[in-house]
Structure formats: structure tokens, C-alpha cells
Amino acid sequence: MKTISRITGIDMTKFDIKYIYLLIEKLSFFQVNFMKLLTYILALPFIYTLALMPFRMLYIFSDGLAFVLYHVIGYRKEVVRANLIRTGFGNDPVKRFAIEKAVYKHFCDLYLETFKSLTLSKRQIQKRFVVHNTSIIQDLALQGKSVIMMCGHYASYEWLLSMGYYSDHTAYGIYAPLANPYFDKLVIKARRRYGAFLIPRRETVTTIKNHTERNHLALYGFASDQSPKIRKKTYFRSFFGTEVPVFTGAERIAKEHDIPVLMAKVRRIKRGFYETEIIVLSKNPKEVKDYKITDWFTEELESLIKEDPSHYLWTHNRFKRLRKTTP
């Protein structure tokens, strides 16, 4: 009993049925946490093997993985197909099939490139991820202004965190922490190699408020194209002809703290190489009509996706939440 009490923190000398429930709860927590740790330990050598591979070998592995995900497992294939049909990219079955296969190849490339980031140097990143017109960011830095950088899940949104290399701003990425805390720390480690920090999504508002009060010069990266939960004040707009709810958090924060809003339009030039064009959405967000910045971002994203739809993250069910219609 004393041993159990020491491990669980429960006083088992005062036996009661409620302690049984507490004990089961504690043991369940330890079991789940142990399995997460074990999964991480087993996966880590494999992850670093991928990270140390030359790019040519990495992409051979990526091709094999894409084949398995698409042809064997069929990972989210119905979601990808439905998205392509709804947006008009999949109306022709032959073209849709080609786009689907390309979607999975790019999807696998992207995540393996994330692992590869664990071993890439600053020089290698800058060679493979080129950012144009960085003077826009630097001019704002010289004016003592922070920046909100909006982007979509298109091309390479992982290497976009290297934007901090090109600015005097401290770079931050808004992200959703992983359920496995050990893998979460690994992701943070990989992204810290770019000189960037991560802000958990739930801490975004308070963190930026704190930075603003301290006059901390920061660049905040917002991937603002996924499907938010529908609430009373949710904003809807058209995305490839379908009314969908859209994230407005970046715009609302920009207006509250008067932070200029830019957009990073990332394009894949060839396998493992990307270029980013920075455009201004608004340097004075408080003067812009509500939701207009969000509209501009969505329109620019649509235009970007049309250039090559296979580089977008169609595995995400963008149309799972739609406006309810009254009969």
C-alpha cells in the first residue's frame, strides 16, 4: 500500500471505493503516457534516418510512401476526391486521377522535408526556400512595427518559418500542439532550427497582447485556411463556389493591435525547392472594413491554388462545416 501511495500520490491507508477509481485513473494515465513515450522511442531512429538521407534517397522513399498511402491504404482518398470535385478540379476523371496522385506525392514530400529540417543548415534552407521582396518586412521592422504573415497550406508551409532569417523580427508560428508531447517537442526542435518559436493556438491572443505591451518586434505566421468550428459570429464566404466558415483571428488581432498584415504566396519550383512572394494585404488594418482582409487573403489563396491544385493540402476536409440552410 505504501508503495502504491508513493507512486500514485493517493493515500491508500484510508481505503475507500473512490480511491479505487482514482487509482485506475492514475494507472491509465501512466499507461497512456508510457505508450506515447514508447512510440516516440521506437520512431526516433527511423525519423533521424530519414533526416540524414540525401534528398535523392528521401524522395525515392517518398514515392514509395505515396504509392502505399494512395493505392494500398487509400488514406483520406474519399476526402481528397470530394474536395477536388467540389472545387471543380476533379470534374474530368482522367485529370482528377493525375491530380490525386500528385497530391499524395507532394503530401509525402512535405512531411519528409519536415523531418529533413532536423539536419538542414541555414544555408541549405535559404538555398531551397527563397524569399523575394523581403524589403517589405524590413521596412516595417525599421518603423518598429510587428507583422502578421498569413499563408495557406500550399506548397511548403513548414519551411515558411525560415522567414525569420530575412528580418529583424523574432519569428513565431501559431500551431496546434500534438497529442503526443514527445513528438511535439521534436516538432518544436525542428522548427527552432529556423530561429522561429511556436505559440500554441490557445495562447495566441494573450501572447501577442503581451508582446505588443512590451513593444516586442515580432513576425507572426498564421495558416488561416482551414475549417473553424461554427459559432454565432462565425464569418462565411465563398471558397471555390461554396460558402464555408473561415478563420478571422489573424484579421481581428491585426485590427486590435494595429499590426500590418502581409501574405506569403509560396510556390514549388521543383522538388525540394520553393520561392515565396510577399504581398501586402493591409498596412493599416484598423482602417479596413471588417472581413475585407480575410476576403483578400482567400481570393489570393484561390488564385494560388489554381496555378497548381496538386500542391494544396486536400487531405483536410475543408468543406466538412457548411452554413445551415433553413427549409
Q: Is residue 278 part of a domain?
A: yes
Q: Give yes or no: residues 136 and 31 share one domain.
A: no
Q: Is residue 66 part of a domain?
A: no
Q: Is residue 86 part of a domain?
A: no
Q: Give yes or no: residues 239 and 145 share one domain.
A: yes
Q: Is residue 63 part of a domain?
A: no
Q: Is residue 232 part of a domain?
A: yes
Question: What DSSP assignment string belongs to 247-289?
Answer: --HHHHHHHHHT--EEEEEEEEEETTEEEEEEEEEES-GGGSP
Which pLDDT tens digits describe the chain residue by residue (327 residues)? Answer: 445 455 445 455 554 555 555 555 555 656 668 788 889 999 999 999 999 999 999 999 999 999 999 999 999 999 999 999 999 999 999 999 999 999 999 999 999 998 999 999 999 999 999 999 999 999 999 999 999 999 999 999 889 888 888 889 999 999 999 989 999 999 888 888 888 899 999 999 999 999 999 999 999 999 999 888 888 789 999 999 999 999 999 999 999 999 999 999 999 999 999 999 999 999 999 999 999 999 999 999 999 999 999 999 999 999 998 877 544
CA 240 vs CA 6, 186, 220, 301, 319: distances in Å? 59, 36, 27, 10, 11
Q: Which string of b and e fits 77-112 if b means at least 16 CB within 10 Å?
A: bebbbbbbeebebbeeeeebeebbeebbbbbbbbeb
Phi, psi for 67 (deg, rounded to 5): -60, -45
Q: Give yes or no: residues 135 and 275 share one domain.
A: yes
Q: Is residue 196 part of a domain?
A: yes
Residue ranges making up the domain that contains 33: 2-45
Is the pTM here over 0.75, yes or no? Answer: yes
Q: Give yes or no: residues 35 and 162 share one domain.
A: no
Q: Is residue 210 part of a domain?
A: yes
Domains in the chain: how many in total?
2
Q: How far, rounded to the nearest angstrom, does the alpha carbon of residue 295 sit from its chain's CA centroid?
A: 20
Q: Is residue 81 part of a domain?
A: no
